[in-house]
Amino acid sequence: MSKPYVRLDKNDAAVLMVDHQTGLLSLVRDIDPDKFKNNVLAMGDLAQYFGLPTILTTSFETGPNGPLVPELKEQFPSAPYIARPGQINAWDNEDFVQAVKDTGKKQLIIAGVVTEVCVAFPALSALAEGYDVFVVTDASGTFNELTRHSAWDRMSQAGAQLMTWFGLACELHRDWRNDIEGLGTLFSNHIPDYRNLITSYNTLPEKQ
């Protein structure tokens, strides 16, 4: 009767980055901005590292919502980029859904701003169509904790799996031996404590 364990598979997963726009980011107050910026960029880095098909979408980027954060745009120069003309739920945009279908993947990893709208709406729609949905809770932000927990509850009860970017990376990688250097670099770039462990280890006199 419990939700079954759907394990992330890097060959069957696509990433949806929804509305990480410079204006909308000023609405995010449930995560500290330094940490949130790091989480979003880490999410971008891992999508790139694992070669996951990634879809970018924005809402009204020429108005107050502002443009997509430039770092994401630069990171995925050839990714499908859907500037939605008005649909709030990205899943209501045909181009977006087509781009998802074109990936041929069944596991959808979603992050966005704000959690209860830009993440929850497409997550719920995708679940309703039979996709496995993984919400990246720490690369998604919203107004406050009350809103966050309401949104989490709605998505979890509908079948979504709540994860954070670090767990995502670990579940996708599966075995360090696939590439120690690569994953270590990803972690070192986005986890100061991990970076410190590596620096301490590498600069020991015995190692030089």
Active site residues: 118
Does residue 182 bind a second copy (CB under 8 A)?
A: no
One residue of 101, 102, 182, 192 binding a second copy per CB under 8 A: 192
| Stretch near a second copy under the rule CB under 8 A, chosen from 47-55, 74-82, 101-109, 190-198 | 190-198
One residue of 59, 76, 79, 112 binding a second copy per CB under 8 A: 59
**Cα dist from 58 to 148, 152, 189, whole Å:** 21, 22, 26
One residue of 16, 25, 52, 56 binding a second copy per CB under 8 A: 25
One residue of 10, 83, 97, 143 binding a second copy per CB under 8 A: 143
In degrees and rounded to multiples of 5, residue 137 shows phi and psi of -65, -30
Does residue 63 bind a second copy (CB under 8 A)?
A: yes
| Residue 54 C-beta: closest distance to a second copy, Å | 20
Q: How many residues does the chain have?
A: 208
The CA distance from 5 to 36, in Å, is 28
One residue of 9, 12, 97, 191 binding a second copy per CB under 8 A: 191
Residues 67-106 contacting a second copy, CB under 8 A: 67, 69-70, 85-89, 92
**Identity of the residue, 24 or 79, whose beta carbon is nearer to a second copy in the bound complex:** 24
Residue 111 pairs in a beta bridge with 17
Report the 3 state secondary structure along 115-168.
HHHHHHHHHHHHHHCCCEEEEEHHHCECCCHHHHHHHHHHHHHCCCEEECHHHH
In degrees and rounded to multiples of 5, residue 3 shows phi and psi of -65, 130
Does residue 203 bind a second copy (CB under 8 A)?
A: yes
**Identity of the residue, 48 or 60, whose beta carbon is nearer to a second copy in the bound complex:** 60
| Residue 166 C-beta: closest distance to a second copy, Å | 7
**Judging by beta carbons within 10 Å of its beta carbon (0-12, 13-18, 19+), is residue 188 exposed, middle or buried?**
middle
